[in-house]
Chains A and B, each alone.
Chain A
């Protein structure tokens, strides 16, 4: 039981990153573009320790960070920053 919890904890926190955007319009565009490229992403509320804003951010695997960065750059979707979580 203990080891399972630990494993689950690892997969849910380690190895993930979030992209923070200035506007939810960009966050939703980023979600659409990533899905089109079959990159697994999810829009989630911004984690409390990162911002007090009421916005949303894009959750992705750290392994996909470079691909997503390049995608956003090539499609002109501006973002604030990427945080590892």
Chain B
């Protein structure tokens, strides 16, 4: 029997730790009520479960007041809430050339609708950011800086400390897209001075799809993306001002949030240091293996201190989709080919036409998984 190997964790992590499946199963069977609605025991317990999740996330991300963490359905919704909640007509936004469409498209839509302008600060081919170009692109009407923490295509980490410094110096809010880093790289948003941080639950936080969140600093007042029932201030026709209710309209995905809570507790139990070390060993083994193959072109930096376990490559003579498809059909290895919803990033590394084959490693992958991938490429390429 051929072993089934999953290396598409940068899209969604699979499998999840056992705790996650158990937490969701027990919530669904034993709790089941609506969080923040009604006063009966199933509703209260559901509310307690959501609070536990909020508090454990606040701890992981270095947030003092857990009500500043807003639950959303994924990083895309968090980024939309942050961008559309901050940017006003006549404004200007700065992003990097590694941003995902979940950043580019909401801003392009504001451009169409309100004439909002934006500047894309170039990154070099290895993914490193041109900080001088960033500083010189700030204008009097700049309202927001949006930067990914790590590229979802080449895995390069952005210089977060320097970005915060530039944002603070210019009195501008910085929105960090931590979709690929929350749960695998240490983050301490309040200590580091990050004002907005978007994350998703279904990648390295090991939660299920349909969970995510946004941290909003007390210094900011965002316009809500949606209005609706919050279980509070119900006699008023207007959205309440207090958090998290202001940004959490409609019944939350408490079932998913229960799983996310378990995922975060798993991470905290293992420790980020251990998680990053394991990922380092796997990533370096993969990078070394791919570098030795003469018909493989590798993208991004090989310096571990500047990256996470997301690796992009191409095999000579094959499109990225062909390579992904051969790995799937012949070797039962799941990777992702194509553009990964990030045309800007592919433009940056010169693969807009061809895309890349992307390997997303997770803490639950093994050296054997990486060896199987390397053997498969050697076999067919």
Interface residues of A (CB under 8 A from B): 22-29, 31-32, 43-46, 52-56, 76, 78
Contacts and interface: CB of A to CB of B under 8 A. Distances in A.
Contact of B233 (A31, A46, A53): A53
20 contacts: A22-B233, A23-B231, A23-B240, A23-B244, A23-B245, A24-B36, A24-B232, A25-B245, A26-B67, A28-B48, A28-B51, A31-B48, A45-B38, A46-B39, A52-B234, A53-B233, A53-B235, A54-B37, A76-B65, A78-B242
A29 B47 CA distance: 10
A52 B232 CA distance: 10
Contacts of A23: 36, 67, 230-232, 240, 242-245
Contact of B51 (A25, A45, A53): A25
Given A44-B39, A76-B65, A78-B242, A25 B47 contact: yes
Contacts of A31: 48
Dominant secondary structure at the B interface: loop
Nearest to B35: A24
Interface of B: 35-39, 44, 47-48, 50-51, 54, 65-67, 230-235, 240, 242-245
Nearest to A26: B67
Contacts of A56: 38-39, 44, 47
A78 B232 CA distance: 14
Contacts of B50: 25
Given A23-B245, A24-B36, A32 B232 contact: no
Contact of A22 (B47, B51, B242): B242
B51 A54 contact: no
B44 A22 contact: no
A46 B65 CA distance: 25
Among A25, A31, A43: residue with most chain B CB under 10 A: A25
B209 to A, nearest CB: 24
A43 B44 contact: yes
A17 to B, nearest CB: 17
A76 B242 CA distance: 13
Given A24-B231, A27-B47, 16 more contacts: A22-B242, A23-B36, A23-B67, A25-B47, A25-B51, A25-B67, A25-B244, A25-B245, A29-B66, A44-B39, A52-B234, A52-B235, A54-B231, A55-B39, A56-B38, A76-B65
Contacts of B36: 23-25
Given A45-B38, A54-B38, A22 B232 contact: yes
Contacts of B65: 76
A46 B232 CA distance: 11
Contacts of B231: 23-24, 54-55
A31 B245 CA distance: 18
Nearest to A27: B47
Contact of B48 (A32, A53, A55, A76): A32
A32 B232 CA distance: 20
Contacts of B240: 22-23
Contact of B39 (A29, A32, A45): A45
B56 to A, nearest CB: 13
Contacts of B54: 25
A76 B235 CA distance: 25
A26 B47 CA distance: 10
A31 B52 CA distance: 12
Contact of B47 (A24, A46, A52, A54): A24
A13 B289 CA distance: 74
Nearest to A44: B39
A55 B232 contact: yes
B228 to A, nearest CB: 13
A31 B235 CA distance: 25
B213 to A, nearest CB: 14
A47 B190 CA distance: 39
Contacts of A29: 51, 66-67
Nearest to A29: B51
A32 B54 CA distance: 13
Among A27, A44, A52: residue with most chain B CB under 10 A: A27
Nearest to B246: A23
Contacts of A46: 39
Of all A-B residue pairs in the complex, the 10 with the closest CB atoms, nearest first, are A45-B39, A24-B36, A56-B39, A28-B47, A23-B245, A28-B51, A22-B242, A53-B234, A23-B232, A43-B44
